[in-house]
């Protein structure tokens, strides 16, 4: 393809993205194409994404974490198989309700009418700041507890590092170790299958070196037996880069076990 054809291809790709037509965007992408966005782990969509599946996962991750996205890009240079575009994009980060307004540069490589590489350059400090609420660990834990009471599990998951370690005592039916936000989401689904939460009382959140220790009472009703229980808990939350990366629960499992018995 000549340079003008390459420019038209990139223009059509941007048009598809602006319409929210990700399937059309992927039609412009080679099956083995690379999407490279180097940034800190605080930005959920940062990383190296390979192939159409990787690109699709990038757009999925972006959509899960941001909305109200506007993109204004103009060609800056085209030479041979390469196209450079520059502009600006704006978005709202859902978990923090914070807006991004940042310059943006895309370095495109095109071969046989398909994108084979895109490197994204932006103000990663601005994006990382928007993706981390600036809330203290105590405020984040309080947000998590409020979301749990409302049943808003996705809000909880948004406060966790992607590779979070999550431990529940082995002595309860939902006990075990869970790694990553997907497994933590499965934990909450399992918890809800086994019991109905009836109350969640936090007596205090104590600030410690790298996080929070909470204690209080958790009350539930076993769905199989209909019996109620009220158990003492202590939760340990550890933070890194504004996200929970380690959580461990200690529960008085005796009342829960009694409620599980027919």
Q: Which pLDDT does position 77 carry in this prediction? A: 83
Q: Which pLDDT does position 177 carry in this prediction? A: 98
Spatial distance between the Cα atoms of 114 and 5, rounded to a whole number of angstroms: 11
Q: Which pLDDT does position 96 carry in this prediction? A: 79
Q: Which pLDDT does position 97 carry in this prediction? A: 76
Which helix (DSSP H) or strand (DSSP E) does residue 187 occupy?
helix 181-194
CATH 3.10.450.50 residue ranges of the chain are 3-131, 137-260
Cβ partners under 8 Å of residue 16, min gap 6: 22, 24, 25, 28
At the top level of CATH, the class of 3-131 is: alpha beta
The pTM score is 0.55
Residue identified by tokens 């202590």 is: 234
Q: Which pLDDT does position 234 carry in this prediction? A: 98
Q: Which pLDDT does position 262 carry in this prediction? A: 78
Q: Which pLDDT does position 99 carry in this prediction? A: 87
Spatial distance between the Cα atoms of 47 and 31, rounded to a whole number of angstroms: 18
Q: Just give the CATH number of 137-260.
A: 3.10.450.50
What average pLDDT values come out for the chain (262 residues) when binned by 10 residues? 87 94 96 94 91 95 92 86 94 86 95 95 89 82 92 90 96 97 97 96 94 97 97 96 92 96 84
């Amino acid at each position: 393809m000549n340079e003008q054809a390459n420019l038209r291809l990139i223009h059509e790709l941007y048009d598809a993205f602006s319409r929210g037509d990700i399937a059309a965007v992927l039609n412009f992408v080679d099956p083995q194409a690379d999407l490279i966005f180097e940034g800190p782990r605080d930005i959920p969509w940062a990383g190296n994404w390979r192939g159409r599946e990787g690109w699709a996962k990038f757009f999925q991750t972006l959509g899960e974490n941001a909305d109200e996205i506007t993109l204004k890009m103009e060609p800056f240079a085209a030479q041979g198989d390469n196209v450079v575009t520059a502009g600006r994009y704006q978005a709202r980060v859902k978990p923090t309700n914070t807006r991004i307004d940042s310059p943006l540069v895309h370095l495109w490589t095109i071969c046989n009418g398909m994108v084979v590489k895109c490197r994204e350059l932006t103000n990663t400090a601005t994006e990382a700041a928007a993706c981390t609420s600036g809330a203290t660990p105590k405020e984040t834990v309080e947000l998590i507890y409020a979301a749990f009471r409302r049943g808003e599990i996705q809000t909880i998951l948004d406060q966790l590092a992607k590779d979070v370690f999550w431990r529940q005592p082995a002595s309860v039916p939902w006990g075990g170790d869970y790694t990553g936000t997907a497994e933590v989401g499965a934990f909450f689904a399992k918890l809800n299958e086994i019991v109905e939460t009836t109350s969640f009382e936090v007596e205090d959140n104590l600030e410690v070196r790298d996080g929070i220790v909470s204690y209080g009472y958790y009350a539930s009703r076993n769905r199989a037996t209909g019996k109620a229980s009220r158990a003492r808990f202590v939760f340990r939350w550890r933070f890194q880069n504004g996200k929970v990366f380690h959580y461990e629960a200690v529960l008085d499992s005796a009342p829960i076990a009694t409620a599980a018995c027919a």
